C-alpha cells in the first residue's frame, strides 16, 4: 500500500504543480473542471447514485462548473464559505443529526455546494499576479498540516479530535498541523517579501492562513462523515493507494474558497 501511495503521489504531484505554473487561466480552468467532474462522479456515489444516474450527475456538475465561470466570484465564494460553517455543526453533532441530511435529494444539492466554490476559489487565485505563489502556498498549507498532524498524532495522539467521524485524528495531530502551517506561512512571507511579518498586515495574513488550515481539517472530517454514513472507506479506487479524487482534494475544497475570499477582500497586490 505504501509503495502504491508513493508512486501515485510522484505522478500526481508534478502534474498538479505543472498545471499551476505552466497552464494559462483558460487551461487551468479546463484542468479543474476535468478533475472536479471526476469528483462529482464520486460524490454521486456518496449520494447513493449508481450506473447511468451517477454519470448523469457528473455531467450535471460539469455543466454547473462551466456556468459559474461567468458569475461574480463573491456570489459563489460567500455561500461556499457559509456552507462550511454549517458543515462544522454537522460534524460536531454527528451521528445524531445525520437523519436530517442523509436523504438522497439533499446530498445531491450538497455536491455543488462543495465542488463549485472550490473551483471558483482556485480560478480566482489563478487570475492574480502572484497566482503561482498563492496557489502553491495553499497547497503547502494543506500538505504541511497533513504531514505535521501525522507525526504529532503518532507521537502524542491519545486524545481524539472527532472519534465519531474519524477515529484516527487527534488533538495532538491538529496542533501539530497548525504549528507546521505557521512555519510554512512565515517562510513563505520571508521568501516573497510580502506581507511584512512584523506589521498588522503580516499578522492578519498569518492568522488568516491558520484559519484556512483549520478549515482544511474540517474538509477532511466532513468527507469522512459522509463516507461513514454511506458505509464506504474511499470515494472510489481511481488513485491506487489514495482512494478517490475526493479523498485527495477534500481539504482543498474547504480551504480554497476561504483562502481566495480572504485574499480578494484583503486587496492583495
What confidence tens digit (pLDDT) does each residue in 53-112 have? 999 999 999 999 999 999 999 999 999 999 999 999 999 999 999 999 999 999 999 999
Tell me the percentage of the chain whose pLDDT exceeds 70: 95
Cα–Cα distances (Å) from 170 to 15, 88, 147, 161, 222, in that order, read: 31, 17, 13, 4, 15
Task: Give strand ranges (E) for 35-187.
Answer: 160-162, 166-170
Supply the DSSP symbol for 268.
-
pLDDT tens column, 76-85: 999 999 999 9
Q: For the whole model, what pTM was predicted?
A: 0.94
Q: In the predicted model, is pLDDT for residue 234 greater than 90?
A: no
The pLDDT, as a whole number, for residue 4 is 65
Answer for the pair 210, 246: CB distance below 8 angstroms, yes or no.
no
pLDDT tens column, 24-58: 999 999 999 999 999 999 999 999 999 999 999 99
pLDDT tens column, 137-178: 999 999 999 999 989 988 898 899 999 999 889 999 999 999
Cα–Cα distances (Å) from 192 to 81, 189, 243, in that order, read: 27, 5, 35
Cis peptide leading into 218, omega within 30 of 0? no
Tell me the percentage of the chain whose pLDDT exceeds 90: 80
Amino acid at each position: 500500500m505504501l509503495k502504491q501511495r508513493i508512486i501515485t503521489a510522484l505522478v500526481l504531484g508534478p502534474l498538479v504543480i505543472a498545471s499551476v505554473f505552466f497552464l494559462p487561466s483558460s487551461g487551468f480552468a479546463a484542468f479543474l473542471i476535468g478533475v472536479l467532474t471526476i469528483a462529482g462522479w464520486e460524490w454521486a456515489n456518496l449520494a447513493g447514485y449508481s450506473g447511468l444516474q451517477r454519470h448523469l450527475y457528473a455531467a450535471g456538475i460539469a455543466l454547473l462548473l462551466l456556468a459559474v465561470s461567468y458569475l461574480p466570484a463573491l456570489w459563489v465564494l460567500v455561500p461556499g464559505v457559509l456552507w462550511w460553517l454549517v458543515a462544522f455543526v454537522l460534524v460536531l453533532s454527528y451521528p445524531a443529526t445525520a437523519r436530517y441530511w442523509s436523504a438522497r435529494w439533499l446530498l445531491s444539492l450538497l455536491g455543488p455546494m462543495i465542488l463549485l466554490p472550490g473551483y471558483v476559489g482556485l480560478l480566482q487565485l489563478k487570475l492574480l499576479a502572484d497566482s503561482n505563489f498563492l496557489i502553491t502556498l495553499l497547497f503547502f498549507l494543506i500538505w504541511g498540516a497533513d504531514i505535521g498532524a501525522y507525526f504529532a498524532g503518532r507521537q502524542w495522539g491519545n486524545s481524539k479530535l472527532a472519534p465519531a467521524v474519524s477515529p484516527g485524528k487527534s488533538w495532538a495531530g491538529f496542533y501539530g498541523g497548525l504549528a507546521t502551517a505557521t512555519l510554512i506561512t512565515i517562510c513563505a512571507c520571508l521568501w516573497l517579501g510580502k506581507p511584512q511579518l512584523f506589521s498588522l498586515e503580516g499578522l492578519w495574513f498569518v492568522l488568516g492562513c491558520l484559519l484556512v488550515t483549520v478549515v482544511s481539517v474540517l474538509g477532511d472530517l466532513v468527507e469522512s462523515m459522509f463516507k461513514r454514513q454511506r458505509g464506504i472507506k474511499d470515494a472510489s479506487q481511481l488513485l491506487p493507494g489514495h482512494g478517490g479524487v475526493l479523498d485527495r482534494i477534500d481539504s482543498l475544497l474547504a480551504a480554497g474558497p476561504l483562502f481566495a475570499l480572504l485574499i480578494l477582500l484583503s486587496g492583495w497586490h
